[in-house]
Amino acid sequence: MSVLSSIIEGVLADLETRKLSNSQLDETLSAAPNVRDPLVSLSRNPLSVIAEVKRSSPSKGALAEIPEPATLARRYESAGASVVSVLTEQRRFGGSLKDLHQVRDEIQLPVLRKDFIVNEYLVKESRAYGADLLLLIVAALDDYQLRDLYSLANELGMKVLVEVHDQSELERALAINPEIIGVNSRNLKTLEIDRKNFDALLPNIPPTIYRVAESGISERDQVKAAYQLGANAVLVGESLVKSDSPESLIAEFLNVAIGN
């Protein structure tokens, strides 16, 4: 079993312990806050930062305690991040839906639910807890699931970050005409990082699609390289949560696009 398959197995097991009835879920959905358009926020800068609330990872273990995720999110917001990403997977990443809800309530930025979304319930649950942007990982879905979950997220008002890490996944992603594609330098089946993914894939994404570079980004030169390859945004987690001054790091990354 790959790492990705193992994570998804845990996600589905945990879902069974909290799953609401259809009527309860619909009631929660009806009370969800209005969607904030992430593309509007992301397009305000020539290069944007999606800043992540992330306690741990399967590859690195514990990263930061983050007792108050909303406090960290406010720091990201004040530093100029365009979107805040919240890990909600519990077993490997130490996240929760409570984190998502708290962050969404405390900031004005759009919020990405970063999780392993593999069925319709998880899409609806994301919107019910306030997600404005949803992650769909091409490696975790077949073509029918990818198209159906993407359509459902759009019907609920959310945008979708469609994540790929090789050329075949990019071709599958392009087939659903997405607005946002993320290139992940980490292979979620093996957890290996290969930044050559950015070189290979970012230039192949049409400029009409918003392009995000994900994973393995911790230094200004890495941000600059992704930007020069066509990335419109970088998604950064580990280096921010481990930094004494995430504000300074965000400012350093944003300055790449203006040559400072």
Query: Which residues are catalytically annotated?
Result: 52, 54, 114, 163, 184, 214-215
What's the Cα-to-Cα distance from 9 to each of 4, 68, 91, 92, rounded to whole Å? 9, 28, 11, 12
Strand partners, 164: 183
- Quick one: CA torsion of 114, 118, 121, 124, rounded to 10 degrees? 40
Tokens of 109: 């930025």
Q: How far apart are CA 106 and CA 30, in angstroms?
A: 20
User: Which one-letter DSSP state was computed for residue 115?
Assistant: S
Q: Assess contact for 87 and 7: CB atoms under 8 A.
A: no
Q: How far apart are CA 20 and CA 142, in angstroms?
A: 26
- Helix or strand (DSSP H, E) at 165: none
